[in-house]
Amino acid sequence: MKLINILLISSLFCVMTGCSKMNNHHSQQSQAHDVAWYKQHQKILMQTLTQCSNNPAKYRNHPECINAQQAANDIVAGDPMPLPADMAHPKE
């Protein structure tokens, strides 16, 4: 519950302070950040989610939006528990 509150407060803060445009932020990079990167850079994660949600028609299928959304989902849901060894590689 605390994490959800932090994410909501961070989103509000980002909107209130004004985020840089996604095109400007990502024009310096040739590839999208992966999910793990977003999990480690939560400030940029929140900025990216804000930009994506402000214009979903434009950014719905943008790799940055997809990866940022997945990172946010993983953070809120928590890391999945690994399967027991006998279930991870079932015998045929």
Condensed to tens digits (0 to 9), the pLDDT of residues 8-42 reads 666 655 555 554 445 544 444 458 899 999 999 99
Q: Is residue 24 part of a domain?
A: no
pLDDT tens per residue, range 55-75: 999 998 999 999 999 999 988
Q: Is residue 11 part of a domain?
A: no
Cα angle, residue 46 at apex, residues 5 and 22 outer, rounded to 5°: 160
Q: Is residue 89 part of a domain?
A: no
Q: Is residue 4 part of a domain?
A: no
Domain housing 65: 35-80
Q: Is residue 49 part of a domain?
A: yes
Residue 9 tokens, joined: 């407060």
**Structural domains counted in the chain:** 1
Q: Is residue 57 part of a domain?
A: yes
Q: Is residue 17 part of a domain?
A: no
Region at 18 (left for phi over 0; alpha for psi -120 to 50; beta for the rest):
left
Q: Is residue 3 part of a domain?
A: no
Q: Whole-prediction pTM value?
A: 0.56
